[in-house]
Structure formats: C-alpha cells, structure tokens
C-alpha cells in the first residue's frame, strides 16, 4: 500500500505500521492511529517543504501524550 508520495513520509509511516500502528484511508488524507488511540493525519501529496518535519512533530506529540497518560 502506498501511504504518501513523499519517500521520507512513506518510510516513517511504514515503520510506525510495523510498530502496530494502524493506517486508515479517509477521503482526502490517511490517518495513522496509534495503539492507544491517538492519531496523526498523513499528507498523501505534501506540497509544503516542511511536511516531513511537521509530520514527525505530530507523531512525537502523540507519543508524548501516551507517555504522560501511562506515567500519571
């Protein structure tokens, strides 16, 4: 399955899917859902040069929320 036209975002999504995240295809964008329920929108055709950086930031936010929920 092809997740994004960006090679870097494609690799990031593939690695998360291997870590038991789920990819759900919506109408215009995909959604990467973490095992605990948080999600990140996956840009299918990113036109912004900061798309990869923004995507990684969003994934980190989901991971940080998970860590806070489990810690406290």
Tell me which residue range forms the domain holding 47.
7-71
Residue 27 has pLDDT above 90, yes or no: no
**DSSP string covering 6-57, please?**
SHHHHHHHHHHHHTT-EEEE-SSSEEEE-TTS-EEEEPSS--STTHHHHHHH
pLDDT tens for 42-70 read 998 898 899 999 999 999 999 998 777 77
Does any domain span residue 45?
yes
Does any domain span residue 54?
yes
> Into how many domains does the chain fold?
1
- How distant, in Å, are the alpha carbons of 17, 30, 31, 67, 68 from that of 27? 20, 8, 10, 30, 31
Does any domain span residue 26?
yes
- CA–CA dist 47, 15 (Å, integer): 22
Does any domain span residue 1?
no
Does any domain span residue 2?
no
Question: Residue 68: what pLDDT?
Answer: 78
Please give the DSSP secondary-structure letter assigned to residue 5: S
Mean pLDDT confidence for 16-22:
95
pTM greater than the 0.75 cutoff: yes
**CATH number of the domain bearing residue 20:** 3.30.920
More confident residue, 24 or 29: 24
Does any domain span residue 58?
yes
């Amino acid at each position: 399955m092809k997740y994004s036209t960006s090679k870097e975002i494609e690799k990031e999504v593939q690695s998360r899917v291997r870590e038991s995240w789920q990819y759900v295809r919506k109408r215009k964008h995909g959604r990467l859902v973490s095992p605990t329920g948080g999600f990140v929108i996956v840009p299918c055709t990113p036109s912004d040069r900061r798309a990869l950086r923004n995507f990684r930031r969003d994934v980190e936010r989901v991971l940080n929320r998970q860590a806070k929920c489990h810690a406290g």
